[in-house]
A = this chain, B = another copy of it.
Amino acid sequence: MKEKYDELLRRFREISVISQISMLTGWDTEVMMPKGGIEQRGNQQAFLARLIHGKMTDTEIGKLLQEIKNDTNYEKLSLLEKRNIHLIQRDYDKQTKLPADFVVEYTKARVSAVEKWKEARRKNDFALFQPFLEKVFELTKEYTKYLNPDLPSYEVLLDDFEPGMSIESYNKIFDPLKEATIGLIEKCKTATKQPDKTLILRKVSIDIQEKISGDLMSRINFDLDRGRLDTAAHPFTTGAYDDVRITTRYIEDNFTSSLFALMHEGGHGCYEQNLPKELRYQPVGNYCSMGLHESQSRFYENTIGRSKSFWFYYLSKFKELTGSLFGDVEFDDFLLAINRVEPSLIRVEADEVTYNLHIILRFELERDLFEGKIKISDLPHLWKDKMIETLGIPVETDSDGVLQDIHWSGGSFGYFPTYSLGNLYAAQLFAKLVKDIPDWNIQLEKGNVKILTDWMKKNVQEKGNLFDPPELVKEVTGEYPNPKYLIEFLNKKYSEIYGF
């Protein structure tokens, strides 16, 4: 059986290597490629995608899995070995349960819908997009039936994006989070202290922003000997192990954009760099889940990056790096400005508090869609209603409403909730960190970011994919995911900053 297990891992390793190559072509396309190269890059990426798919669905893998599981010695395998087998089986099932004809049809429908979505958003015309989205929605339901005909479609999707999650578990998280958030926004709105938005509109030259980025990368312990920083229109992170590449973007009159994008992507990047070295190229050596990945980016961006303690230390460095530009700014005012809570239309520009309401709105719509309570054609007006109801702001155009995100056009129903899950995980992990390092804030005030990132490295990043997300959270914090930590974290932080 040893040889079969080794052969299975050899195949996984090969697929990992090809995936790394594929990631390089993706990075290059966004960051380096001359525009003329798009067609031949398409050929390259299509080839690699076919190659990976062919290797992942090779029936030999199914045979090996079967033989290993039927072997009398199977039970003697270590937990780690069993986890590897489980993860390979999970991927193999997902890839092979779909008939080839269906994959072609589904892919085509999503590609068309993404194209149509771009046009519809530009023209602010949901009706144009509606039939395409309906088609993708129907095919997504079909997709879930192939994966698991015994479960409701949305359950399948939620578990697909975040193993172990269900409608029930999200409801239990989002219902209290929604209520608490709406209350918190109200308190911020009526607080006597209000942020001075003009502070963050001050023009910071791109040269200076680049210097700040360089400085911050080393502070959050992103290893530039094993990674790069570049610019991209839409910041992202890619790569693996010893070659992880993050991107940011520089906008002169919005320096916080690059600053927090850098810390966000840096969090993703550190996670990849700190995955367990001895488990590389094995399924257990990969990141745990989308939600856990997001928890890392949020931890670096928000928990550290927008914290009072960090800026207590860093504001003077920041003032030094920006010359005389912020010489007049008081610490409290700066902290309030970078943490201002302000209901807005666009999810990706939302602050730490209102952000989760954008996600919950999408979750509720997705859930109700798949439960048949609403129709695709209801989405625009329900979106508007919910925006009034939760964030209290009117949506003037669908482009700034239901059409703002690409996800649904690509069939990614059930993906959004993992973003808020990232916030939730980050808060729960942080609560444990606070217990383990009671003087964390004194350390951070002295500029010792490393004590926090080292904790995260040891407790989360180096655990790779040894556990499903809820189990990992329990393993580290002693408790399954619980929204109370996020609610407590936000209430405490914002009552302090806004002074209520």
Contacts and interface: CB of A to CB of B under 8 A. Distances in A.
A21 B20 CA distance: 12
A426 B14 CA distance: 45
Contacts of A227: 34, 36
A298 to B, nearest CB: 25
Contacts of A32: 32, 228
The prevalent SS among residues of A at the interface is helix
A35 interface: yes
Contact of A25 (B21, B36, B228, B241): B21
Contacts of A243: 33-34, 36-37, 40-41
Contacts of A226: 34, 36-37
User: Copy number in this complex?
Assistant: 2
A168 interface: no
Given A18-B47, A21-B47, A33-B243, 10 more contacts: A17-B43, A20-B40, A21-B25, A21-B48, A34-B226, A36-B226, A36-B243, A38-B242, A40-B241, A40-B243
A407 to B, nearest CB: 29
A165 interface: no
A490 B225 CA distance: 48
Contact of A35 (B36, B225, B240): B225
Interface residues of A, number: 32
7 contacts: A24-B25, A24-B28, A32-B32, A33-B243, A36-B226, A39-B242, A41-B243
Contacts of A24: 24-25, 28, 44
Nearest to A280: B40
Most B CB atoms within 10 A — which of A40, A43, A48, A223?
A40
A103 interface: no
A379 to B, nearest CB: 39
Contacts of A35: 225
A416 to B, nearest CB: 32
A80 interface: no
